[in-house]
Amino acid sequence: MRVLITGGNGYIGSHTCIELLAAGHAVTIVDNLSNSSPAVVERIARIAGRQPEFHQLDVRDAAGLERLFARQAFDALIHFAGVKAVAESVADPLKYYSNNVCGSALLFDAALRHGVTRLVFSSSATVYGEAARSPIGEDAPLAPANPYGRSKRMVEELLADLCRANPGLRAVALRYFNPVGAHPSGRVGEAPGGIPDNLMPYLCQVAVGRLPELTVFGNDYPTPDGTAIRDYIHVVDLAQGHLKAFDYLEREGGMHFINLGTGRGTSVLELLAAFERVNGVRIPHRMGARRPGDTTETYADAARAAQQLGWSTRLSLEDMCRDAWCWQKLNPAGYA
Ligand code: NAD
Ligand code: UD1
């Protein structure tokens, strides 16, 4: 298959490109490089032993998309491109509706007109919102608590409407839990600009000496050690879930919503301890206040992915910590 990957230079997209190339697919990347480096393309090629095609393009550039689709036929589309910082989405909602919602609408329009029938969309567990009870199944009510989450829900609804209107179209929205880790080669990984918002990249930057200490956001949660619980998933497992979603769309029509998580919860202090143990490093840290909007406990019901995709995670918390640290040590300043 020739697969179009939007946002393929980003964290999850780059790992998925590697898995697709390794499985023998041809890959075309579209990315506007707003949150990634052009260097990623060569890293992907070195690991996979095959070259992806790359186009620097914004998914909101309708004329650019038209030229791309007119030149080349695609069997499938994986749509990663978008913006993803919760706090920024509250301060600048239009950036989120423009990139995530308008961008998706323009992209799907071009894809449909050019005969693409299989779509995979990067959604997020954030669509469930703060009140959802874990383990969270796909039929839980959706109540996203911020513009980022609402933009993801809107695109899910847009895709479902497109599937209803176009019986030949098949789509999966994959709801990711907390992707962490890096490719075991240490050559691609997560490279956030500025100070990271998320726990694992923050922890890595403390370990490598770029940040002085980690603040644990709240140790008064009603959990065994008082810190909040999440479902961390290795990015390579997550990437492989996308290939399984393709296989599924070979067999099944219509629109599907599927969680990608391990189904297991890990607390902040458990992750910290695993990172120190596996990597033999000390992470200076202190207890701080809860972060507004954080949930106590969020982890997936991963049964639907197992039953429908035949997919479940293989890599452990230790693998996540080891690979995240390997990437950070080899690339202390990311791709810079
Ligand atoms: P990322 O920022 O590393 O990758 C996104 C890529 O899209 C970047 O390379 C960026 O340059 C590109 N991009 C952004 N806007 C674009 C546009 N308008 N046109 C073209 N390219 C554009 O993020 P990621 O962590 O790899 O996330 C990928 C997707 O998965 C996003 O849609 C995100 O919302 C979703 N997601 C991520 C997480 C997570 O924790 N990383 C969790 C749930 C869902
Ligand atoms: C965040 C996003 C969520 C997104 C998810 C993707 C917010 C409010 N939510 O969720 O929309 O889908 O990332 O992975 O931004 N922590 C610390 N210290 C830190 C950083 C984090 O203690 O410096 C804690 C947090 O309070 C949380 C846990 O670590 O309990 C994980 O945090 P994070 O990696 O930001 O993920 P989420 O909160 O799940």
pLDDT tens, 211-225?
Answer: 999 999 999 999 999
Instruction: Give the residue, by CA position, lying nearest to ligand 2 atom 15.
Output: 86
Which ligand lies nearest the alpha carbon of 90? Answer: 2
137 backbone dihedrals φ, ψ, rounded to 5°? -90, 165
Tens-digit pLDDT profile for residues 252-280: 999 999 999 999 999 999 999 999 999 99
**pTM for this entry:** 0.98
What's the pLDDT score for residue 130?
85
What whole-number distance in Å separates Cα of residue 121 and Cα of residue 172?
Answer: 6
- Going from the Cα of 115 to the center of ligand 1, the distance in angstroms, rounded, reads 25
> Could you state, in chain order, the average pLDDT of each consecutive group of 10 residues for the chain (336 residues)?
97 98 98 98 98 98 98 97 96 98 98 97 96 94 96 98 97 98 98 94 96 98 98 98 96 97 98 98 97 93 98 98 98 93
What's the pLDDT score for residue 293?
86
Which ligand lies nearest the alpha carbon of 82? Answer: 1
- 301 CB near ligand 1 (under 6 Å): no
- 335 CB near ligand 2 (under 6 Å): no
- Going from the Cα of 82 to the center of ligand 1, the distance in angstroms, rounded, reads 5
Domains and CATH numbers, the chain: 2-182+232-261 (3.40.50.720)
- 151 CB near ligand 2 (under 6 Å): no
Which residue numbers are catalytic?
148
Tokens of 275: 């990172």
What whole-number percentage of the chain has pLDDT above 70? 100
